[in-house]
Chains A and B, each alone.
Chain A
Amino acid sequence: MFHWLEKNPFFFAVAVFVVIAFAGLIEILPNFAQASRPVIGTKPYTTLELAGRHVYIKNSCNACHSQLVRPFKSETDRYGHYSLSGEYAYDRPFLWGSKRTGPDLMRVGNYRTTDWHENHMKDPAAVVPGSIMPAYGWMFKNKADVDTAYAEQVTVNKVFKTPYNAELPMADGSKVKVALADSVEAARASALEEAKVIAADMKDQDVKDAVAKGEIPEIVALIAYLNSLK
């Protein structure tokens, strides 16, 4: 049979394809519906948080920081509750990372503040002596891309039915609604409102001035995202 295949390239290619596609079908398909169910307390990102997530991705923060707490005592001691599948239901793409040059950030919002992030992103080694993380000064100048974040919200809402404008159950029994703006102008305005809350806790005068003028520096969006990681 193999000699025959080696003389018949078409059937050879078909045979190879069947053999390599087999594992994917068995391993990936059955899990799809199961894994995408959100757990209680999981909610979609706001416009500013999503813009911050884009800053995180733009700078490949995931190259050095994981967002996956494994179920070991040493990890739950350090980072909090181990990760549950449903917590990632609205993460497109996932940001688990594959290397921890720096610590895990899955629940960084529980134990770091806006003020801490501001100082740390400006000069990591000043906050954590011995840190090898580079400084991210340009994030204080570059402006966050709120429009693209809004476009993504609209897209996931339309295509994947991500539940914006819907009441979602929280762990304490309350209900929370994450609003999706009607227009890009409204999205910019609501992102700015969120940004003002963050900027109020910051010390950098340029950032404060920018937000007062209606602009949103990348650092503000990034901190909004990091604070949302809980």
Chain B
Amino acid sequence: MENRPLEYDYTVAKMFMLTTVVLGIVGMLVGVILAWELAFPAVNTIAGSGLAEYTNFSRLRPLHTDAVIFGFTVSGIFATWYYVGQRVLKVSMAESKFLMALGKLHFVLYILLVASVVGSLLLGITTSKEYAEFEWPIDIAVVVVWVIWGMQIFGLIGIRREKSLYISIWYYIATFLGVAMLYLFNNMEVPTYFVSGGIGAWYHSVSMYSGTNDALVQWWYGHNAVAFGFTVPIVAMIYYFLPKESGQAVYSYKLSLLAFWGLMFVYLWAGGHHLLFSTVPDWMQTMGSVFSVVLILPSWGSAINMLLTMKGEWQQVASSPLIKFMILASTFYMFSTLEGPIQAIKSVNALAHFTDWIVGHVHDGVLGWVAFMIMAALFHMAPRVFKREIYSKSLMNTQFWIQTLGVVLYFTSMWIAGITQGMMWRAHDEFGNLAYSFIDTVTVLHPYYTIRAVGGTLYLVGMFLFAYNMYKTMTSGRRVEESELQSASPMGA
């Protein structure tokens, strides 16, 4: 008994793997529709003018961001937690009936939450605050789902065999705490129905904060939702999956220590860079700029630690598409965390803010880093969870190149669009008058919007290849033995 390897229970992990794939496709499909709407406005009424209310750009936009953040990414975080958590803590979910039941409840509530979010956003029920659009009843449900996840983390930690917490666990704990703090404070709102004695819509609420204060709290949240949704948990993933897949030990423990605590301390200060030249105090704007630049250190600390983990084993990048995904993710992480600080410098921000360059930045981060890492994690998990070989290696390679091309088209076109528009907004003629009317700065973007839509579409095609490959792995991949699952994942042709 003592000498037998642990049998991990991946029931809940599998459920969240499914939603990762499905919500990834949904979120990105909506994104692609939005991209084509900006390039060709006729797409806004694609389902007829009767349904235009539900297909037009402005109604769909929050659905896109929230589906990718709270659907795709959060599903990926949960899926990997229910896989990685057991393995690094050396304890199986099956050992605790309570955690098992709670995990299933976690999934069911999450699905209900997703359904209510999609429905309410389509109906236009929103608080307008970016990535915090949900009204108070949904906010409460979010808190419940999040607390359940916290119980899972600390419950599993409580019954662990491995006493020392692996680096990934640090990052999962930080994700849980960070999002909890940010979400609670940013969504402080007063339901109007109860205060007014039962008048109007029951779900409507009004923000506890007004004007500049509201903006300050919102971007403290908005920026750090990126930190604790798109950075911290994704770093948790790469610290587990890259060493596992490559069979290499993490390059430096000390560097991972420095990068972790550095990231925790520095990230929260940087939110002010979303509010440069706004009405928040100047000192706070400068703090936002300075800390954004300092943020390069811990970000690159993790990324370099990952790249150096491949030291002496670089041939794996050429031979394994799975390693390719992770190395490109890590590279995009470096790229994106250099681009962000550049945009946070005041003089650059004066040009870049409110333009498509910001949109480009978000997407090279999310498509290049977050999504690549999550897909790599799922590819690594699939053979271990389903006890089958990955269906097709060549399909993985095809997906990799199509999506890489998609990301490159996306961010290059948005760079050009953003800088073009920013320059045109500020251009003056020889008499000191504005050189362009606003609409001139819109029509000029048409070719870039078209290229972006093509890039986005390519990425979505890659998502479908991903879903197909995962489905085939699950249903018809060659069955594998435990001995084949030590490091590099088995892949079919």
Q: Footprint of B on A, CB under 8 Å? A: 2-3, 6-7, 9, 12-13, 16-17, 19-24, 27-28, 31-32, 34-36, 57-64, 66, 68, 70-75, 77-78, 83-103, 125, 128-138, 145, 147-152, 154-156, 158-160, 184
Contacts and interface: CB of A to CB of B under 8 A. Distances in A.
Contacts of A66: 354
A121 to B, nearest CB: 12
A145 B128 contact: no
B214 A92 contact: yes
Among A3, A57, A94, A136, the most chain B Cβ lie within 10 Å of the Cβ of A94
A118 B284 CA distance: 41
Contacts of A19: 261, 264-265
Given A2-B257, A31-B284, A152-B206, A130 B200 contact: no
A74 B211 contact: no
Given A64-B57, A93-B129, A9 B173 contact: yes
A73 B350 CA distance: 12
Nearest to B204: A148
A1 B164 CA distance: 13
B211 A98 contact: no
Contact of B279 (A84, A149, A184): A84
A70 B199 contact: no
B170 A36 contact: no
B45 interface: yes
A156 B442 contact: no
Contacts of B199: 147-148, 150-151, 154, 184
A76 to B, nearest CB: 11
Given A36-B210, A58-B126, 4 more contacts: A23-B268, A34-B281, A64-B58, A94-B211
Contact of A35 (B49, B130, B204, B212): B212
Interface in B19-78: 37-38, 41, 44-45, 49, 52-53, 56-59, 61-62
B124 interface: yes
Interface in B367-399: none
The 10 closest A-B pairs by CB, nearest first: A88-B211, A148-B200, A23-B268, A58-B124, A151-B200, A85-B279, A134-B44, A151-B196, A100-B354, A35-B212
B426 A31 contact: no
A159 B196 CA distance: 10
B224 to A, nearest CB: 8
Chain B binding surface, main DSSP class: helix
A34 B353 CA distance: 25
A98 B130 CA distance: 9
B212 to A, nearest CB: 4
A151 B204 contact: yes
10 contacts: A36-B212, A57-B126, A64-B58, A85-B211, A90-B211, A94-B215, A101-B38, A133-B41, A148-B199, A149-B200
Contacts of A88: 210-212, 214-215, 279
Given A20-B181, A68-B278, A83-B279, A9 B157 contact: yes
Contact of B218 (A57, A64, A84, A93): A93
B289 to A, nearest CB: 13
B195 A154 contact: yes
A57 B353 CA distance: 22
Contact of B62 (A32, A60, A102): A60
A145 B201 contact: yes
